[in-house]
Amino acid sequence: MKAIVCTKYGPPESLEFQEVAKPTPKDDEVLVKVHAASANMYDWHLLTADIFLVRLSEGLLKPQNTIPGADVAGRVEAVGKNIKQFRPGDEVYGDVGHGSFAEYVCAPASRLALKPSNLSFEQAAAVPMAALTALQGLRDQGKIQPGQQVLIQGASGGVGTFAVQIAKSFGAQVTAVCSARNLEQARALGADQVIDYTKEDFTQSGQRYDLILAANGYHPLADYKRALNPKGIYVMAGGTATQIFQAMLLGSWMSEREGKKMGGVVGKSNQEDLIFLNGLIEAGKVKPVIDRCYSLDETADALRYLGTGHARGKIVITIEQSGKTQAAKEHV
């Protein structure tokens, strides 16, 4: 099968498009014929090792998992002998951890769910990691409640576009922070207020929020804390390496003062939350926003574009297509 192979940390140019052996599912695994995958900042960090913690978990000198890609949507090709939930032909999607930038991938059944009936494979592939991160950040870490004032920083990216919609589905009053070119998109996704971060610093405005989810955090933690109501919660879901370390090292200490909670979220793949997302998607409350689509042999280009930090929504990789980059439709 064809796959993208990463044998060393580095820029997108270090990726190779190769013929590799087709995987065989273990007893508790499902073999998926991949129709589409999507790129996340997670994939960028694993490729470049720009955050040193990556080397501690993925391999000090080189990646242990040589085929990148976490998000997948496709059809079940075969199942291990212990699998009862899925059968060949089922349309599934999920966050499989690694290996989705290929024509086939094996994954534990617990990381997959049936694909939402109203989404294409490309749309479904855009959902798992970003939407799970947004859901778990808002619901589990943020304890979101109806009527709360919720601010989403980085509202135009992969996690942010899902966070705006999921927060609205929980009945919150949502403020979206993004650049001027993305303000209308944020409104279309349901934001009640929008802030152009190039013209206004929400941490200095005097407005207070019950919950802040930073999908692209870059302010000092003290600034976020100042923008919270008493007993408010700040959740870091993405940002600079400095932000990540601050949230890890200082968040717990800062949370002990004044009753405000400061922390972060790392999305965890699980079938239960994928099924929960299915309900929101099939009810029309949440839909993926796709910026661009690339073919599998253009994965390096896809990650290069993602690395610029200017993607509007998700970057999708269509496995069965080849050729030049396609301008994608935005599903808003």
Residue 332 has pLDDT above 50, yes or no: no
Task: Tell me the pTM.
Answer: 0.91
Q: What is the pLDDT of residue 212?
A: 98
pLDDT in tens, 182-197: 999 999 999 999 999 9
On whether both 294 and 318 belong to a single domain, the answer is: yes
Percent of the chain at pLDDT above 90? Answer: 74
Stretch 61-80: mean pLDDT, rounded? 91
Report residue 210's pLDDT band, with 50, 70 and 90 as the boundaries: very high
Identify the residue with better confidence: 219 or 300.
Answer: 300
Q: Across the chain, what does the average pLDDT equal?
A: 90
Number of folded domains that form the chain? 2
Clarify whether residues 16 and 52 are in a common domain: yes
User: Do 17 and 102 reside in the same domain of the chain?
Assistant: yes
Cβ–Cβ < 8 Å for 68, 43: yes
Do the Cβ atoms of 319 and 34 come closer than 8 Å?
Answer: yes
Residue pair 22/104 in contact (Cβ under 8 Å)? The answer is yes
On whether both 142 and 95 belong to a single domain, the answer is: no
Would you place residue 255 in the very low, low, confident or very high pLDDT band (cuts 50, 70, 90)? Answer: low
Beta-bridge partner residues of 262:
234
Q: Is residue 257 part of a domain?
A: yes
Residue 116 near residue 63 (C-beta atoms within 8 A): no
Same domain, 260 and 292: no
Q: What is the CATH number of the domain that holds 167?
A: 3.40.50.720
Residue 19 to residue 173: CA distance in whole angstroms: 50
Q: Are residues 161 and 194 in the same domain?
A: yes
82 plus 194 within the same structural domain: no
For the cut 60, the answer to whether the pLDDT of residue 116 exceeds it is yes
Task: Note the pLDDT tens digit of each residue in 224-247.
Answer: 999 999 999 999 997 666 666 666
Q: Do 7 and 121 sit in the same domain of this protein?
A: yes
For residues 219 and 249, membership in a common domain is answered with: yes
Can you state the angle between helices 128-135 and 271-282, rounded to 10 degrees? 90
Q: Is the pLDDT of residue 34 over 50?
A: yes
Higher pLDDT, 322 or 189: 189
Can you give the residue range of the structural domain that contains 157? Answer: 131-264
Q: Is residue 269 part of a domain?
A: no
Residue 26 domain flag: yes
Helices (H), the chain: 41-48, 53-58, 121-125, 128-135, 158-169, 183-188, 221-226, 241-255, 271-282, 299-307
> Using only C-alpha atoms, what is the Rg of the chain?
19
- Strand boundaries in the chain, DSSP class E: 2-5, 16-19, 29-39, 71-79, 91-95, 104-108, 112-114, 149-153, 173-178, 193-196, 209-214, 228-236, 261-264, 290-295, 314-318, 326-327
pLDDT average, residue stretch 117-121: 97
Indicate the pLDDT class of residue 135, thresholds 50, 70 and 90: very high
pLDDT of 76-97, one tens digit each? 999 999 999 999 999 999 999 9
Please tell me the predicted confidence (pLDDT) of residue 240. Answer: 62
Give the mean model confidence (pLDDT) for residues 28-48.
93
Residue pLDDT, tens place only, 258-306 = 678 888 888 899 999 999 999 999 999 999 999 999 999 999 999 999 9
Among residues of the chain, what percentage have pLDDT more than 70?
Answer: 87
Question: 215 and 238 in contact (C-beta within 8 Å)?
Answer: yes
